[in-house]
Amino acid sequence: MTVPDGASPKVSVPRLLILWSFARPHQRSLALALVLALVGSGMGLATPMVTKGVLDALGGSDSLRGPLLALLLLLVVGSAVMYGQWTLLGALGERVVLRARESMVRRFLRATVPAVTRRPPGELVTRVTSDTVLLHQAATGAPVGLINAVVMLLGTLVLMGVLDLVLLGTVAAAVAVVGVLFAVLMPGIATAQQRAQDHLGRLGGNLEGALRAIRTVKAGRAEDRTAERIVADARVSAEYGVRANRREALAWTIALAGIQLAIILVLGVGAWRVAEGDLEVSSLIAFLLYAFGLMDPISELSQNITTLQSGIAAAERIRETDELDSEEGAVREGPVQEAVVVVEKTSVQDTPVLELRAVTAAYGPDAKPAVRGVDLVIPRHGHTAIVGPSGAGKTTLFSLVLRFLEPTGGELLLDGRPYRDHSHDEIRSRLAYVEQDTPVVPGTIRDNLLLSRPDATDAELRRVLDEVRLAEKVDALGDGLDTPLSGAAVSGGERQRIALARALLRTPDVLLLDEATAQLDGLTEAAVQSCVRARAATGAVVTIAHRLSTVIDADTIVVMEAGRVRARGSHGELLATDTLYRELVEALRIAAPAGRPESTILG
């Protein structure tokens, strides 16, 4: 949530409630921390009075044992209370941060695909990593510190009044001036800090995108230009940070100067009153101790107000993630889910596994439909290939089938039942999907293979690796299945085969492949195509095809154009009857001769 130029964020009640929502689950611990803070402050307030007793005992030749023991007791108990308070608040802050991070991570992964992809990933990461840090103090230490500082300030002023009302008036005037100046300066500090954090989020998003495309950046010799665009946000963030520091430095300078001026006035007026016999020396010394200590509650007030304002801005950014559209339905346990699926399989063998009826879909309420009026039947067995020029709607069909995108018209059916009667988890439990661009997730080879079937055995892992001709390669790696995929241990084609092996491990009813052979050599592609044919004999395989070798084996080829199904049939039928399909083939010189054509690109 950004703040317009010239506007100042104010700590209003609704904004405070947003921050309080993070602290509410820990209110008992907060109450205990507040009690400890108040006890510690009370002991600090008692110290000057006990010091006055020591001085009075010296003047009256009384025993010093009692006052000195009291000072020692205040020191020991006060230190123990302070340790307990800081330990409690530190642990509490970590729990608040953990809960916020856990909530956001789960929210991101449960959100709909369009809700997540419309924001830069780096910005979302910044909210999890950077914004949550601001909650550590704002949601725990700041509220306790504010209340404690107010109590300590009022207590100090009351005890000053007990010692001498004239000197109290002198100090109160200085405190009032400092308070007014703080009230003027603090909103500007919060505004600058919030804008700095906003630009920091943009920096994270831009940097993440640049690192993801690092090869493209280097190939285009655009390192410096890309760095300049990213650093621009860093500069703006630093500029606002400097503004906040300047205002904060001015506030502290005024506060320190105000307290020092008050001490000078206390010394002057106090010495005069002692000389007149209206004030004892011990009372003046105790009053000066309170005056020297007056900076502590004032500084604590200013620090916690600043922390509170920064925390509120962070809390608002974090709560914005709650607005992400979430996919409905909870994840069901494996055994129950499989039992439901078995019943469905045995009762609907005569119906298509998937069906699209007059489906229309768009990527936003005002966006042009990406597909419109699509009718498509996917039988329980066989290979269906989807081809067409770029922008024809092929990937959108996969997004609809996987329920990443909801249709705006028509309906999809699974086993003859509308998608709306199934949860997202039920639908995806029947499907396996291999992406073309990002086929693996962070982690090891084993992590990737077990992603959707964590109970698979090593023998089953070995079987699917053999199917995609990758077992020998994995065995040759130093860590084998536990080799991380974050480095360059495997090539792009090998990553694609790992993703395909992961999908084959699922033994899904429908295998969705977004050109799973795009980065493979001819021999390896032939092995993968053999896997696809074997899977098509026992289940449904749907591919977005860019190679003729993929199309030639398909039982049905669906040609798409401008978001619609233009034609369907076999390779030979479409070459003879559909001009677009023939033009795609002929334009790339891949017209099939007799026998099996070479592996070439189709669009």
Q: Which tokens sit at 569?
A: 């049939």
Sheet with 371-378: list strands edge to edge. Answer: 371-378, 354-361, 409-414, 417-418
Q: Above 50 in pLDDT, residue 338?
A: no
pLDDT tens-digit series, residues 223-256 = 888 888 888 888 888 888 888 777 777 777 777 7
Q: Above 50 in pLDDT, residue 423?
A: yes
Q: How far is 125 from 127, CA to CA, in rounded Å? A: 5
Span 270-280, mean pLDDT?
Answer: 84
- What residues contact 184, with CB distance under 8 A and at least 6 apart? none
- What residues contact 548, with CB distance under 8 A and at least 6 apart? 585, 590, 592, 597, 598, 599, 600, 601, 602
Q: Above 60 in pLDDT, residue 329?
A: no
- Of 580 and 187, more confident: 580
Determine the pLDDT at residue 107: 86
Determine the pLDDT at residue 224: 84
Query: With bands split at pLDDT 50, 70 and 90, how would you rate the model's confidence at 488?
Result: low
- Of 224 and 526, more confident: 224
Q: Which of 145-154, 179-188, 333-342, 405-414 has the lowest mean pLDDT?
A: 333-342
Closest to 365 in 3D by CA, of 114, 563, 119, 116? 114
**H or E element, residue 354:** strand 354-361
- 3-class secondary structure, 387: strand
- On whether the CB atoms of residues 400 and 371 are closer than 8 A, the answer is yes
Region of residue 599 (left: phi > 0; alpha: psi -120 to 50; beta: else): beta
Share of the chain above pLDDT 70, in %: 85
pLDDT tens-digit series, residues 430-473 = 998 888 776 677 778 888 888 878 888 889 999 988 888 888 88
- On whether the CB atoms of residues 313 and 193 are closer than 8 A, the answer is yes
Determine the pLDDT at residue 377: 94
Q: Which tokens sit at 149?
A: 């500082």
Q: How far is 384 from 553, CA to CA, in rounded Å? A: 9
Q: What are the phi and psi torsion angles at 12 (to 5°)?
A: -80, 165
Determine the pLDDT at residue 357: 94
Q: How far is 294 from 283, CA to CA, in rounded Å? A: 16
pTM reported for the whole predicted model = 0.70
Residue 295: CB atoms within 10 Å = 18
Sheet with 431-434: list strands edge to edge. Answer: 431-434, 510-514, 540-544, 382-387, 556-561, 564-569
Query: With bands split at pLDDT 50, 70 and 90, how would you rate the model's confidence at 594?
Result: very low
Q: How far is 442 from 496, CA to CA, in rounded Å? A: 14
pLDDT tens-digit series, residues 538-565 = 889 999 877 666 777 789 999 999 999 9
For the chain, report the end-to-end CA distance as a whole number of angstroms.
Answer: 43
Q: Which tokens sit at 241?
A: 């940070």
pLDDT tens-digit series, residues 25-81 = 888 888 898 898 888 888 888 888 787 777 777 666 666 677 788 888 888 888 888
- On whether the CB atoms of residues 98 and 150 are closer than 8 A, the answer is no
CB-based burial label for 270 (10 Å; 0-12, 13-18, 19+): buried
- Of 600 and 417, more confident: 417
Q: What is the DSSP letter of 128?
A: I
Span 376-395, mean pLDDT?
Answer: 90
Determine the pLDDT at residue 1: 39
- Give the chain's mean pLDDT: 79
Chain length of the chain:
603
Maximum mean pLDDT: which of 212-221, 303-312, 355-364: 355-364
pLDDT tens-digit series, residues 345-354 = 445 566 889 9
Determine the pLDDT at residue 541: 92
**H or E element, residue 4:** none
- On whether the CB atoms of residues 583 and 566 are closer than 8 A, the answer is no
- 3-class secondary structure, 364: coil
Span 385-413, mean pLDDT?
Answer: 90
**C-alpha distances in angstroms, 569 versus 574, 578, 600?**
6, 10, 20
- What residues contact 238, with CB distance under 8 A and at least 6 apart? 196
> What residues are paired with 513 via a beta bridge?
434, 543
